[in-house]
Structure 1
Amino acid sequence: MTRLPVDNFIELPRYRSAHSRCTVWRVYVKASTRKTRDGQTIRYLQLAHNEWDSVAKVSRTKVLYSFGREDQLDVSGVRRLVDALSRLLDPADALAAAAPAGLSFVESRPLGGAWLLDGLWRQLGIDKIVTGLAGVRRRDVDVERVLFALVANRALKPSSKLAAAEWVCHDVHLPGLPFVTDDACYRAMDDLISVEPKLTRAVYDQIADLLNLEVDLLFFDTTSTYFELDEADEPLWRDEHGEVVDDGAPTAVKQAGFRTYGKSKDGRDDLPQVVVGMAVTRTGIPVRVWCWPGNTNDSALIRQVKTEMRDWNLARVVWVADRGFASEANRRFLQQAGGHYILGEKLRAGTTEADAALARQGRYATVTDNLQVKEVNIGADDRFVICFNPEAADRDAAVRARLVAQLTDKIDGSDKLSVTKRAELRGVISTKPGLNRYLRVTPGGLLRVDAAAVKAEQRLDGKYLLRCSDPKLSAEDIALGYKQLLEVERGWRDMKTTLDLRPVYHRREDRIRAHILLCWLGLLLIRVAETTTGRTWNKIRAEAERLHVGVFTGPAGTFCQRTELSQPHKTILARLKITEPPRIIDATPATA
């Protein structure tokens, strides 16, 4: 019996029990020989390991698998076995185990995620758009590759620009960019923001043609993102769109810092912020992003958005927005040039339209299990649709019952308190909006549960009111169209979590704007990946990042080889119509 060279050893973990530590198997290929009657020597190959016999106090060979005669070896079967064993290892260990004799395994980096994003980047033509824009050409660095690297970083491993440069240099195999500095990242961001209007328009034109985007409904919403600062930025003169202008310029309308205090949608009114807006198609594709100083009022922003997208070759568009944009001025503006809108209407505002709509009788028509609609005619120019969600109604009733119970418990026995103590209790309850909504103070200063307020809220359980200017849409289409506004909310959620819009590590206004633009490009790529494959980005990324590239060195030089493509890898790349990466990524001969 003989053993093959030590290079053929493979270490696999073997668990003794559910509660014990694992023992390492040192597996090797054993060769045994026998001679036939005619004197021919035949070799047999077996997969074996040595196992300690605690009774005899000796190490014994145990055969795990027999390959049969060496001259009749099933090579394809061996390959399948190697592939199966490789799946038990992480990509780096799998590459190291498969290293050819005489070569040293140096490192392993993820390839799949960057390869996939680069394929989408090129497929959407963003590489040519960026390269073709004047102002983004530098002799010392490939700006297009650096910008792609920053976008890929947002989608794969969000970090600061300094950390992103380290990531490119040491932690990922990025097609066409083996090395970058943080200074090159900042310069590329400066170039990006200088061509923002041309870039966003060119990208929209390209994806609208390639993806056949449906823009009959265009959803718009805003959010805010805060900064961990002690003080806001210095106020500067700005125009009505929030852009900085010279002092005394005719377009100057107000002074404001970019990072400044405002009404925070993250509940952080104590910190400076900026306001970010986004327009999204019905399939969730973000077509453009904007940002304004943190104290900008939402109400008028949709007018600016419609104006700036007027020349984007949009056909008949119905703008969809929530009740924060439903002012009369906005409604008139959105109807210009034949446009229409679907807007949320405040039910608790006590407006004439809302009260009249709720007072109308009629049956609801069931659209889905959790959506019923009823169109009401109140004699106004617009159409009004009341939407009812039975599941939401049950939740609203349960929440209200809990709040009323808490309020009852707090004010129980308060009649016996002194006037001062009762006023103190009243002040405490006033800081809790949920409880304060149902509190009533009698003329004598006594605290009571407001039965009228409870009854009024019961009428609103699970309901929301929509206003629409389009006479051709059915009530069901209006309700379903508004419900798709959730696509924007999903976009904000992914911007703030998957792409890490926050924290922002920049101080300068132009670089904050560039950072938001990079997040938008990242969101665009992952939305295209999701809508094409039918999978979430988290699952796509997790699968893609298992594809690695390993670096091997030897006397002849250095070469890079990828790991084997799994079936999920092949499926994802096929659905996205992206070519598979070559097995040998790069080969560099040794210098004499």
Structure 2
Amino acid sequence: MAAYIRKVRTASGATAVQIAVKQGGRRTIVEHVGSAHTDSELAALMQLARGKLHAGQQELDLGLDTPGSPRKGPSVITAKRSRWLIEMIETAWHRLGFDVIDDEAFFQLVLARLVEPTSMSDTARVVGEIGLTPVHRNTYANALKRCATRDYRDRVATRCFEHAAAAGGLSLVLYDVTTLYFEAEKEDGLRKVGYSKERRVDPQIVVGLLVDRTGFPPEIGCFEGNKAETHTIVPMIRQFQARHDIAGVEMVVAADAGMLSAGNLADLDAAGLKFIVGSRVTKAPADLSNHFHWNGDVFVDGQIIDTVTPRHAKSSVNNIRKRTEHVWDAAGHPQSWRAIWQYSTRRAVRDNQTLNAQETRARAVVDGGKAPKATRFVKTTTSGRTVDEAGLERARSLIGLKGYVTNLPATLMTPGEVIGKYHDLWHVEQSFRMSKTDLRARPMFHHTRDAIEAHLTVVFTALAVARYLQAETGISIRSLVRTLRPLQEITMTIAGHPHTATDPLSPEGVHILTALDLPAD
């Protein structure tokens, strides 16, 4: 009498797993192993059923000749956990050295921020759903307090610095800022109404982020919400240097044009730092005066002009009587910085499309349409509105140009290398997008500075884990979680005996575990 496993769809939509035998052409159900509602439960039941068959060498004494034999009891699922997801995050946590912080509540706050960013009060639900035992809500609150009293930020930043330094990524650090707003009615010493690209009028803080050339973050800091972005870069760099005692270490700082101010560049240079910042296209006529004088506004695709730019707006350093561009060096040009301009045909096409749209909008406003705020190329005088034809023509002469300002002499770095390093800025922009979307750093509901700093420490730590995992696997944290979270390990008790089964790994899951050198068993 041969026994076999049978799967049957029940009326409730579940899948029943049964052990049956055929005798005399008739099927007899001899044991109902259990009913599964998910793939994980089905895998567990199938594994259990196979174990029963193998134990009997396919021929089981199923007690058919003993009617009324006692039932073994119902199957009970005693535990579920997203094993691979937990192991992946724990692996990154240990490899980055964050286990220097022996605080389970802090770890769970970071883990929840990675898995499903939510409020502190909802962290227990996220942690419980993936199979860990959440700590009490008060313990989470106390963990945030410990962030300040036990210098968690400094300990995490130290490990981040060590990781970035070992990877050789700190020769270039990239800087950018963002704003995080609050659901609050009143300002205080930190949360203030300031400039917002989204035109919000809520109190906010300014957050500065340093990342290495791969996008891994070694430093984060926050400033008052009304602090100008240009006034954050030097304090941030000094904070970074002081924390790790690296004053004088060769390092290039790259930032976008928003950080371009005479004071910032002078301060960075005085601190012995090399910098690369984007230049505003409005500076091109002065910087490229030689080119425009001798060649007009004609450029070829990919053309690079290595020249100089004045340190102060009111000064002039170019001489149009000399056709040859200046070759910048600090000693020979104390009143200027090195400026590199590049022309791109693709950029010109994009810029031209933008200008066409702006011209159309300007002419519509002049013709009597409603004027939106700060309409470009519209001049308003006592006699009415007119199109700024001269400004429009000047803008068209500059399409396709992109400028870079640096204190790196040509003997140390070619123009192409300067441009390439600046373009690495997309890593810091990507990290900011991740912190605001995948990790949802905002809005924030904390009130005191310590609580806000603690929240940023959690986000900073989660961002470091996420960037490490992305670097190792080539997959974003959102996709990593989406792939591994459904793969569960289930523990069941059947007939008084515990049994464990796991969902089969998908090809994507195998790739992730292989990339992280985790055993896929």
The TM-score normalised by the length of structure 2 is 0.78
Count of matched residue pairs: 460
- Judged with a 3 Å threshold, the aligned counterparts in structure 2 of structure 1 residues 317 and 44 are, in CA distance, closer, same or farther, namely farther
**In the alignment, what sits opposite 1:158?**
117
- Judged with a 3 Å threshold, the aligned counterparts in structure 2 of structure 1 residues 200 and 296 are, in CA distance, closer, same or farther, namely farther
Is residue 2:373 matched to residue 1:432? yes
Pick from 8, 11, 26 the counterpart of residue 9 of structure 2.
Answer: 11
Is residue 2:250 matched to residue 1:316? yes
Pick from 343, 346, 362 the counterpart of residue 388 of structure 1.
Answer: 343
Is residue 2:179 matched to residue 1:258? no
Of the structure 1 ranges 277-286 and 537-546, higher mean CA displacement relative to structure 2 is found in 537-546
**In the alignment, what sits opposite 2:463?**
523
- Judged with a 3 Å threshold, the aligned counterparts in structure 2 of structure 1 residues 303 and 498 are, in CA distance, closer, same or farther, namely same
- Judged with a 3 Å threshold, the aligned counterparts in structure 2 of structure 1 residues 99 and 274 are, in CA distance, closer, same or farther, namely farther
What aligned pairs does 1:171-570 form with structure 2 within 5 A after superposition? 171-174=129-132, 178-194=133-149, 195-196=151-152, 198-208=154-164, 211-233=166-188, 257-268=189-200, 270-311=201-242, 312=244, 314=246, 315-336=249-270, 338-348=272-282, 353-354=286-287, 356=289, 359=292, 373-377=304-308, 378=318, 380=333, 381-412=336-367, 414=368, 428-429=370-371, 431-433=372-374, 436-441=375-380, 445-471=383-409, 472-554=412-494, 556=496, 561-570=501-510
How far the C-alpha of 1:193 sits from its partner, in A, is: 2.6
How far the C-alpha of 1:356 sits from its partner, in A, is: 4.1
CA distance in 1, matches of 2:156, 2:299: 42
CA distance in 2, matches of 1:225, 1:357: 44
CA distance in 2, matches of 1:130, 1:165: 20
How far the C-alpha of 1:336 sits from its partner, in A, is: 3.3
- Judged with a 3 Å threshold, the aligned counterparts in structure 2 of structure 1 residues 92 and 515 are, in CA distance, closer, same or farther, namely farther
Of the structure 1 ranges 91-100 and 107-116, higher mean CA displacement relative to structure 2 is found in 91-100
Deviations 1:241-270 (CA, angstroms, capped at 9, x unpaired) = xxxxxxxxxxxxxxxx211111113331x1
Is residue 2:60 matched to residue 1:119? no
Describe the SS at the equivalent of 1:510: helix
Deviations 1:392-443 (CA, angstroms, capped at 9, x unpaired) = 322222222223223334433x5xxxxxxxxxx6xx41x333xx21223466
Describe the SS at the equivalent of 2:232: helix
How far the C-alpha of 1:297 sits from its partner, in A, is: 1.9
How far the C-alpha of 1:490 sits from its partner, in A, is: 0.8
Deviations 1:443-487 (CA, angstroms, capped at 9, x unpaired) = 6x1433222121111123232221110111111111111111111
Contact 1:375/1:386 (<8 A) preserved: yes
CA distance in 2, matches of 1:401, 1:387: 22
Report the identity percentage. 22
Deviations 1:174-217 (CA, angstroms, capped at 9, x unpaired) = 4xxx23111111111111233045314421343135x5232111
Deviations 1:553-572 (CA, angstroms, capped at 9, x unpaired) = 34536565433334432331
Deviations 1:323-369 (CA, angstroms, capped at 9, x unpaired) = 22222222122123532110122233x69855648747678686xxx
**In the alignment, what sits opposite 2:80?**
108
Describe the SS at the equivalent of 1:218: strand
How far the C-alpha of 1:92 sits from its partner, in A, is: 4.5
- Judged with a 3 Å threshold, the aligned counterparts in structure 2 of structure 1 residues 46 and 162 are, in CA distance, closer, same or farther, namely same
Of the structure 1 ranges 498-507 and 549-558, higher mean CA displacement relative to structure 2 is found in 549-558
Of the structure 1 ranges 98-107 and 198-207, higher mean CA displacement relative to structure 2 is found in 98-107
**In the alignment, what sits opposite 1:575?**
515
**In the alignment, what sits opposite 1:70?**
none
How far the C-alpha of 1:2 sits from its partner, in A, is: 9.6
Counterpart of 1:221, as a letter, is D
CA distance in 2, matches of 1:470, 1:532: 32
CA distance in 2, matches of 1:198, 1:555: 52
- Judged with a 3 Å threshold, the aligned counterparts in structure 2 of structure 1 residues 316 and 104 are, in CA distance, closer, same or farther, namely same
- Judged with a 3 Å threshold, the aligned counterparts in structure 2 of structure 1 residues 384 and 514 are, in CA distance, closer, same or farther, namely same
Of the structure 1 ranges 103-112 and 211-220, higher mean CA displacement relative to structure 2 is found in 103-112
Describe the SS at the equivalent of 1:159: coil
**In the alignment, what sits opposite 1:146?**
105
Contact 1:364/1:374 (<8 A) preserved: no
How far the C-alpha of 1:26 sits from its partner, in A, is: 7.7
Counterpart of 1:330, as a letter, is N
Counterpart of 1:334, as a letter, is L
Deviations 1:51-80 (CA, angstroms, capped at 9, x unpaired) = xxxxxxxxxxxxxxxxxxxxxxxxxxxxxx
- Judged with a 3 Å threshold, the aligned counterparts in structure 2 of structure 1 residues 439 and 46 are, in CA distance, closer, same or farther, namely farther
Describe the SS at the equivalent of 1:162: helix
CA distance in 1, matches of 2:494, 2:3: 25
CA RMSD of aligned residues (A): 3.5
Describe the SS at the equivalent of 1:309: helix
Is residue 2:126 matched to residue 1:167? yes
CA distance in 2, matches of 1:548, 1:361: 70
CA distance in 2, matches of 1:540, 1:361: 56
- Judged with a 3 Å threshold, the aligned counterparts in structure 2 of structure 1 residues 374 and 173 are, in CA distance, closer, same or farther, namely farther
What aligned pairs does 1:9-158 form with structure 2 within 5 A after superposition? 9-11=7-9, 31-32=21-22, 90-95=39-44, 98=47, 103-106=75-78, 108-127=80-99, 129-131=100-102, 143=103, 145-158=104-117
Contact 1:91/1:108 (<8 A) preserved: no
Of the structure 1 ranges 150-159 and 324-333, higher mean CA displacement relative to structure 2 is found in 324-333
How far the C-alpha of 1:578 sits from its partner, in A, is: 3.4
Deviations 1:100-132 (CA, angstroms, capped at 9, x unpaired) = 5853224534232222011110111110x213x
How far the C-alpha of 1:504 sits from its partner, in A, is: 1.6
Describe the SS at the equivalent of 1:577: coil
CA distance in 1, matches of 2:493, 2:484: 26
CA distance in 2, matches of 1:163, 1:23: 31
CA distance in 2, matches of 1:390, 1:188: 54
Counterpart of 2:131, as a letter, is H
Contact 1:109/1:549 (<8 A) preserved: yes
CA distance in 2, matches of 1:306, 1:394: 37
- Judged with a 3 Å threshold, the aligned counterparts in structure 2 of structure 1 residues 10 and 372 are, in CA distance, closer, same or farther, namely farther
Counterpart of 2:190, as a letter, is F
- Judged with a 3 Å threshold, the aligned counterparts in structure 2 of structure 1 residues 331 and 404 are, in CA distance, closer, same or farther, namely closer
How far the C-alpha of 1:3 sits from its partner, in A, is: 8.5
CA distance in 2, matches of 1:271, 1:469: 38
Higher relative contact order (CA 8 A, sep 6+): 2
Describe the SS at the equivalent of 1:225: strand
Contact 1:29/1:45 (<8 A) preserved: no
